[in-house]
Every structure is written in structure tokens, then in C-alpha cells.
Amino acid sequence: MMGEVEILATLLSLKVAAVAVLGSLPLALLVATRLARGGRGTLLLDALVHLPLVLPPVVVGYLLLITLGTQAPLGGWLKDVLGLRLVFHWTGAALAAAVVTFPFQVRALRLALEAIDPGLYRAAQSLGLSPWARFRRVTFPLALPGLLAGAITAFAAALGEFGAIMTFAANIPGETQTLPLAIYSALQTPGGETAAGRLVALAIALALAGLLLGEGAARQLRARTGQTLGSLR
């Protein structure tokens, strides 16, 4: 049976992953749209977006710490003026997870946007649809499977994030201790192998459930996309 610390770590992991994905989604959509359009500066922007994938997570956490820590100018301003304290807080764990997993959302959305046939936009424009209507009836339905795929991948990656959260938010039970950190703590505790095994099994179950639900939702979205586009004819 799971103990209180294990339950708290599980619930916190789900909250951190959800906030990380949903909080960064609007920015991911904007960045993906800019990259899909191409043009000047695209190569540099693409490199910056994917930088967290090649940097060690500990480095990402350290950069966040020296930027948003309470002793840093920006972090001090956020704390003193807005009362927002990210370091050693669950919101900081969500921010660290969002930064590390941000490239997954951008890449999936960009590929989905680039795959849209430009002829569909011309057809929608010839029908007199406004830019907002074109986005609502063409762009968004076709990009939705990519959005979902990126969100699921980012959510799963956020559930498993360790280094950036450990460095920026620390390992505080009930506050910043997510599943990976709880597993690490259990393995460092004599006799904690059983608890670690339960947490590992739970992490695997959550990842599989997310992937299966995501695949089922993606199939339904692809089926509905054809119906949505058919309404343009």
C-alpha cells in the first residue's frame, strides 16, 4: 500500500506535468507558427527552441536558478514586487519541466502546421472566410493531432524530469518532490527498495495510460478532421 509521501509525490507529479504543458502551450503554438512560416531568423530560433534537448537538465536547472533565484535580480524582483517565489516551490518545478519539455510541443506543432496543404487556405479564402474563420475551420483542426501528440509527449517527459527540477526546485517532500525525486530518495533510504519499486510501477502505468489515451484521442481527431474539411466544400 502506498504511503502518504508516495501519494503526495504522485499527485504533485501530475500537477507539475499538467501545469508545465498547459502553461507553455500558447507560446509553443506561437513559436511553431513562426517556424512553420520560415523566413529570416528561423534557423536561430529553431536552435534556441531545441537547446534544452541537448543541454544536460542540470544545466537548465542551474540557468533557471541564477536567473530566477531569490538572489538574482529578476527573481528578487518577482518575489519583492509580485510576491512570486519560484525557487524551491512547486511552481518552480513546473517551470523547469516546461522549459525542458517545450521543444517536444513546438516540434510536433510545427510538423503538423507544415503538413497543411496551402491549397486549403486558398480555398477557404475564396469562400470568403476571415483569417479567424480560416484558423478555426482549417488550421486548428488539422494541427490538433500534432498539438495533442506534442502535449502527450511533453506530459510524459515532464513526469520523468529529474535534473532540472532537482537543481532549481530541490527535493522537498510534499512541495517539490515529484515521482522521479521520490524514487531517488527511496533508493537512498535503507530498506526503501520496496517503495521505489511501487513508484516505478506507478510511473510506468501512468506513462502507458497517457500514451494509450492519447493515441485513441488522436485517431478520433483524425476522423473528425475529414468531416471538418468536408464542410468547406
Q: What is the mean pLDDT of residues 134-142?
A: 80
Q: Where are the beta strands (DSSP E) in 46-162?
A: none
Question: Residue 100: which domain range?
Answer: 4-228
Decide if 124 contacts 142 (C-beta within 8 A). Answer: no
Closest CA relative to residue 56, chosen from 100, 13, 106:
100
Does residue 76 form part of some domain? yes
| pLDDT at res. 7 | 86
Distance, in Å, from the CA atom of 116 to the CA atom of 145, rounded to the nearest integer, reads 12
Portion of the chain with pLDDT greater than 70, in percent: 92
| pLDDT at res. 104 | 93
The pLDDT tens digits of the residues spanning 41-59 come to: 899 999 999 999 999 999 9
Considering only residues 111 and 3, tell me which one the structure prediction assigns the higher pLDDT. Answer: 111
Does residue 52 form part of some domain? yes
Q: Taking 70 as the threshold, does the pLDDT of residue 222 lie above it?
A: no
Q: Taking 80 as the threshold, does the pLDDT of residue 223 lie above it?
A: no
Number of domains composing the chain? 1
Kind plus residue range of the DSSP H or E element containing 180: helix 179-188
CATH number, position 17: 1.10.3720.10
Is 102 exposed, middle or buried, given 0-12, 13-18 or 19+ CB atoms closer than 10 A? buried
Q: Taking 90 as the threshold, does the pLDDT of residue 17 lie above it?
A: yes
Q: Taking 90 as the threshold, does the pLDDT of residue 218 lie above it?
A: no
Give Cα separations from 167 to 79, 80, 88, 215 (angstroms).
Answer: 19, 22, 9, 33
| pLDDT at res. 138 | 79
Q: How confident is the model at residue 167 (pLDDT cuts 50, 70, 90)?
A: very high
Decide if 150 contacts 217 (C-beta within 8 A). Answer: no
Decide if 176 contacts 169 (C-beta within 8 A). Answer: yes
Q: Taking 90 as the threshold, does the pLDDT of residue 179 lie above it?
A: yes
Backbone angles phi, psi at 175, to 5 degrees: -125, -50
Distance, in Å, from the CA atom of 105 to the CA atom of 23, rounded to the nearest integer, reads 12
Alpha helix (H) residue ranges in 127-175: 131-134, 140-159, 163-169
Distance, in Å, from the CA atom of 222 to the CA atom of 142, rounded to the nearest integer, reads 8
Closest CA relative to residue 75, chosen from 109, 67, 26:
67
Does residue 138 form part of some domain? yes
Does residue 105 form part of some domain? yes
- Residue 199 corresponds to which amino acid? L
pTM (predicted TM-score): 0.86
Phi-psi region of 170 (alpha: psi -120 to 50; beta: other; left: phi over 0): left
Q: pLDDT averaged over the chain? A: 86
The pLDDT tens digits of the residues spanning 81-108 come to: 888 889 999 999 999 999 999 999 999 9
Does residue 233 form part of some domain? no
